[in-house]
Amino acid sequence: MKTITKKEIRLPRKKTDAKKGDAGRVLIISGSEYYVGAPFLAAMAALRTGCDWVTVAAPEKVAWAINTMSPDIITIKLKGTHITNAHRTTLQDLIKKHDAILIGPGIGTKNTTSYLIKNLLKYGKAPFVLDADAIKLIQGTTLKDTVLTPNQNEFKLLTADPIKNNIIIQKGPIDIIHTPLTLYKNTTGVPRMAIAGTGDVLAGCVASWVAQGLNQEQAAINAVYLVGKAGEEAAKDDSRFIASDILYYL
């Protein structure tokens, strides 16, 4: 198992003549009436790590709340309190217009079905990042070129096929990245990062770097190492920091 160090970090280069969108467009499909903060944290992490454009597709009240938290995030306001199959056509059209798709933070499993998530994975050419409840909803699905970011309990739900053929970030006191050829471990970070919201920040970072053109393995390496370092810096100023504080240190 290889330990990630600063030498493994690779960041995209900005073109001097860049225009809006050249550094990637991220679509985040997430949120429910119970979880408003998760899509916001993921979206801000994506912007803070360099992508040009972030769209959050979320239930309408969640989307309006996100607009009050930041004017930098574009929101698509889906009718209802949860994302359901009724939104499928809208989401399919959005997927085709973005460079990386993050599904899961705060989406819930009560109303969002595995049928919807599995259907969305078939659309567009953009790579997918699956986090939180989306991981619970893809059981039995054959995935390819996908990044999954499970915590310890969600990791136990994965079969050998997803672990073998995709990039898995197994979150924990020591993050482990599973790739088809290599295992990496990351030792940056502090215990306080077990607080709610840190995983949303991590998922947003991964999607951002994938959208900017990095391969999924490199995006995962960057995310675990640099989010961990940001947590270390936050802890120096306040040992009781919260997930949104990590955004500043990114």
CB 72 within 8 A of CB 230: no
Q: Is residue 6 part of a domain?
A: no
Q: Is residue 55 part of a domain?
A: yes
Which of the 8 DSSP states describes residue 187? -
Q: Specify the pLDDT at position 125.
A: 87
CATH number of 89's domain: 3.40.1190.20
Q: Is residue 157 part of a domain?
A: yes
**pTM for this predicted structure:** 0.95
Q: Is residue 168 part of a domain?
A: yes
88 is in which domain, residue-wise?
22-249
Q: Which helix (H) or strand (E) holds 130?
A: strand 128-131
Q: Is residue 10 part of a domain?
A: no
What pLDDT digit, counting tens, does each position of 105-146 carry?
999 888 888 899 999 998 888 999 999 999 988 876 778 889
Kindly tell me the burial class for residue 123, based on how many C-beta atoms sit within 10 Å of its own C-beta (0-12, 13-18, 19 or more): middle
CB 101 within 8 A of CB 95: yes
CB 41 within 8 A of CB 200: yes
Q: What's the total number of domains in the chain?
A: 1
Average pLDDT score, the chain: 93
In angstroms, the Cα distances linking 3 to 62, 128, 176 are 39, 25, 9
Q: Is residue 104 part of a domain?
A: yes
- The CA distance from 72 to 54, in Å, is 8
Q: Is residue 15 part of a domain?
A: no
Q: Is residue 192 part of a domain?
A: yes
What pLDDT digit, counting tens, does each position of 47-68 carry?
999 999 999 999 999 999 999 9
